[in-house]
Chain A
């Protein structure tokens, strides 16, 4: 059976061929049923949705208003050590003694046989340098120690002199 023959048979036996179509009564009844479906559904469901929404909103507001305030952990104040400053190093107690004049004169008198010029001399050891510096302003010195939240320890050395470290 070729396609053309099949098409002919289908058209001769078309199920919609004999009096196809809705009668006016059928069409009118169906139209009424379809058109009344829209507002009925809205009338039925709209108040339900509105009531449900209002109830949910009221419940949410009530929960927000009546919820107990959660206990807040107090913010720890910054830790500042209040320990008294440690006693000044013993070397700081040493009174500055003016260099003896005799030694200076003796050095001046010494012949110029220096193996190294004075500026090539090795720098003084840090301990000595610190000691000398503290000798200059050893009269009043205070320390403030902080302990930062990260664990870093900060020490301020306050001196009544010119500078501070």
Chain B
């Protein structure tokens, strides 16, 4: 895309204003903590800033979501997010929040942290964002059959993980 720097900046500013909150919520659901989520969102927008021509007109949201999920996958591979999720869970338990909501939140975050990033993105977008299978497929750039397959596997895996956690707490 041959936009001038001025136009590129304006376009990027528009993208940021429209999508940053939604993207941050998604990042919170895909990452281990708030700092990581903030880093992921900023990195996604920085990629758009460095290569403005790579962001397709009319499909900016899908591009940003895919970039965010890919960043999660990179981080998942590089830093061992599973270990970080367990650490986060342990830390939260140690601080001791007796409220049930906090316990559930910690449990869910821990269980989501055990899923592979793409599977986690599929279940989060479908179950928490409430998007249809077709929309999830469009945003992630994969087939609907693949989305359904990931959903089925993620539900089975989450049910097992949450049951295990409940057993451990007793």
Chain A residues within 8 Å of B, Cβ to Cβ: 1, 3, 6-7, 9-18, 20-22, 26-27, 30-31, 33-35, 37-39, 41-42
Chain A positions within 8 Å of B38 at CB level: 22, 26, 30
Q: How far is B20's CA from A33's CA once the two chains are assembled, in angstroms?
A: 13
Given contacts A10-B108, A15-B28, A21-B25, A33 and B46 within 8 Å (CB-CB): yes
Write out the residue numbers on chain B whose beta carbons fall within 8 Å of the beta carbon of A13: 101, 104-109
CA–CA, A21 to B28, complex, Å? 9
- Please name all residues of chain A whose beta carbon is closer than 8 Å to the beta carbon of B16 when the two chains form the complex: 30-31, 34-35
For residue A40, which residue of chain B has the nearest CB? B49
B57-83 contacts to A (CB < 8 Å): none
Question: With A and B bound together, what is the CA distance between A67 and B49 in angstroms?
Answer: 45
Secondary structure at the B interface, as helix, strand, loop or mixed, is: helix
Give the size range of B's interface with the partner: 35 or more
Given A13-B108, A15-B108, the answer on whether A21 and B128 have CB atoms closer than 8 Å is no
Q: Whole-angstrom distance from the CB of A18 to the nearest CB of chain B?
A: 7
Nearest 5 pairs of A and B residues by beta carbon = A13-B108, A13-B104, A37-B49, A16-B28, A16-B25
Q: When the two chains form their complex, are residues B104 and A30 in contact, meaning their CB atoms are under 8 A apart?
A: no
Interface membership of B50, Cβ < 8 A: yes
Q: List the A side residues contacting B158 at CB < 8 Å.
A: 6, 10
Contact of A38 among B5, B25, B162 (CB under 8 A): B5
Select A14's contact among B41, B49, B105, B159, beta carbons within 8 Å: B105
C-alpha gap A13/B13 in the complex (Å): 32
* Bound: A123/B50 CA distance, A: 97
- The answer to whether B12 touches A35 (Cβ under 8 A) is yes
What residues on A are CB-neighbors of B5 within 8 Å? 38-39, 42
Expressed in whole angstroms, the Cα–Cα distance for A14 and B30 within the complex equals 11
Closest to B10 in A: A35
B20 touching A7, Cβ below 8 Å: no
Residue of B whose beta carbon sits closest to that of A31 = B16
CB 8 Å contact bits of B78-115 with A (1 = contact, 0 = none): 00000000000000000000000100111111001000
User: A31-B16, A42-B5 given as contacts; is B127 within 8 A of A10 (CB)?
Assistant: yes
Q: In the complex, what's the smallest C-beta–C-beta distance from B152 to chain A, in angstroms?
A: 10
CA of A164 to CA of B106, assembled, Å: 113
CB distance B42 to A14 under 8 Å? Answer: no
The reply to whether the CB of B155 lies closer than 8 angstroms to some CB of chain A is yes
With A14-B29, A41-B50 already in contact, the answer to whether A9 and B104 are too (CB < 8 A) is yes
Contacts A10-B128, A21-B25, A22-B38 given; indicate if A38 touches B105 (C-beta within 8 A): no
Residues of A within 8 A of B128 (CB): 10-11, 14, 16
A22 close to B21 (CB less than 8 A): yes
Determine whether the beta carbon of A37 is less than 8 Å from that of B46: yes
- A1, A7, A18 — which one has the most chain B CB atoms within 10 A of its CB? A1
State how many angstroms separate the Cβ of B91 from the closest Cβ of chain A: 15
* Contact A1-B162, Cβ < 8 Å, known A35-B13, A37-B46: yes
B20 touches A39 (CB 8 A): no
